[in-house]
């Protein structure tokens, strides 16, 4: 199966963008498509179509695909093409364990107290969560979870920690959405659980307790893995 590209909203023709900016935009866009299952596991990514869509040559696109391969999201098969990798809970169990450890470190390693802007960001995430409870949508919920994770990265100034945590997050993020799509887990129940967890993290941040917020996030990852394991057993 070959991917059909969703409509891209990227503005790569902006003269103010550097080559690095264009690389990052393409990387994030293709990564999001993979993690939101626009490109399902096993999908073949056409270099020609993607290069045409983004208005670039195949050389920078190949660099993007090479980074995605290094991150475990695609695999290049010589003479055949580049394919979206599959996701398996058992194979990624150790990745989940490492994610738990890194989440706990957020409150200890170069922690950053949230300013008004970051608190407002978490409060907006909470409002989105409550809105989704009234109109469940798996894709929008997946985006909410990702946005929440990216917000938590801002609670540390340790860049190696942030980079590693982000890499591991995207390796595991598809498991949840795949489980919802396959009706392995209940979307409404997962949303109610997440809403409660988000609210407790927000409450900890509002009183300036970063260590508690980190421990809550660690517990969130642990319980999410436990629920997925139980449902897939």
Tens-place pLDDT, residues 170-190: 999 999 888 887 777 889 999
Considering the domain architecture, whether residues 134 and 166 belong to the same structural domain is answered as: yes
Residue 77: in which H helix or E strand, if any?
strand 74-77
Per-residue pLDDT, 233: 67
DSSP-based three-state secondary structure for 51: helix
Per-residue pLDDT, 161: 97
Total number of domains in the chain: 2
Considering the domain architecture, whether residues 27 and 131 belong to the same structural domain is answered as: no
From 22-31, 136-145, 171-180, the region with the lowest mean pLDDT: 171-180
Packing angle, helices 138-153 and 116-134, rounded to 10: 160
Is the pLDDT at 71 greater than 70, yes or no? yes
- Give per-residue pLDDT as tens, 10-23: 667 676 778 889 89
Q: Please, what is the end-to-end C-alpha distance for the chain in angstroms?
A: 29
Is the pLDDT at 157 greater than 60, yes or no? yes
Distances (CA, A) of 57 to 39, 48, 144: 21, 9, 33
Per-residue pLDDT, 181: 78
CA distance 159 to 24: 17
Q: Is the dihedral of CA 208, 212, 217, 218 positive or negative?
A: positive
Answer yes or no: are the C-beta atoms of 110 and 157 closer than 8 Å: yes
Q: Which domain holds residue 24?
A: 19-84
Looking at residues 140-157, what average pLDDT do you find?
96
Residue 12 falls inside a structural domain = no
Considering the domain architecture, whether residues 36 and 147 belong to the same structural domain is answered as: no
Mean residue pLDDT of the chain comes to 91
CA distance 205 to 182: 35
Q: Where is the domain boundary, 65, 84, 103?
A: 84
Considering the domain architecture, whether residues 101 and 77 belong to the same structural domain is answered as: no
Considering the domain architecture, whether residues 121 and 69 belong to the same structural domain is answered as: no
CA distance 32 to 193: 24
Per-residue pLDDT, 170: 95
Per-residue pLDDT, 13: 66
Considering the domain architecture, whether residues 140 and 202 belong to the same structural domain is answered as: yes
Considering the domain architecture, whether residues 58 and 109 belong to the same structural domain is answered as: no
Answer yes or no: are the C-beta atoms of 114 and 155 closer than 8 Å: yes
- Give per-residue pLDDT as tens, 84-116: 999 888 889 999 999 999 999 999 999 999 999
């Amino acid at each position: 199966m070959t991917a059909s590209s969703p409509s891209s909203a990227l503005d790569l023709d902006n003269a103010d963008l550097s080559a690095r900016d264009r690389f990052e935009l393409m990387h994030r866009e293709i990564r999001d498509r993979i993690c939101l299952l626009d490109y399902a596991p096993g999908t073949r990514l056409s270099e020609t179509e993607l290069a045409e869509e983004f208005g670039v040559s195949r050389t920078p696109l190949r660099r993007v695909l090479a980074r995605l391969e290094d991150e475990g999201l695609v695999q290049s098969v010589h003479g055949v093409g580049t394919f979206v990798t599959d996701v398996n809970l058992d194979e990624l169990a150790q990745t989940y364990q490492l994610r738990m450890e890194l989440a706990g470190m957020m409150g200890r390693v170069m922690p950053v107290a949230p300013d008004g802007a970051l608190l407002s960001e978490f409060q907006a995430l909470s409002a989105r969560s409550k809105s989704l409870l009234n109109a469940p949508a798996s894709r929008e919920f997946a985006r909410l979870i990702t946005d929440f994770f990216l917000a938590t990265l801002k609670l540390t100034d340790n860049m190696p920690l942030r980079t590693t945590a982000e890499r591991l997050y995207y390796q595991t993020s598809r498991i949840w959405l795949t489980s919802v799509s396959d009706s392995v887990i209940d979307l409404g129940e997962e949303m109610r659980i997440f809403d409660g967890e988000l609210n407790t993290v927000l409450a900890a941040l509002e009183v300036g307790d970063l260590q508690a917020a980190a421990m809550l996030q660690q517990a969130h990852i642990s319980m999410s893995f436990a629920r997925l394991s139980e449902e897939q057993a």
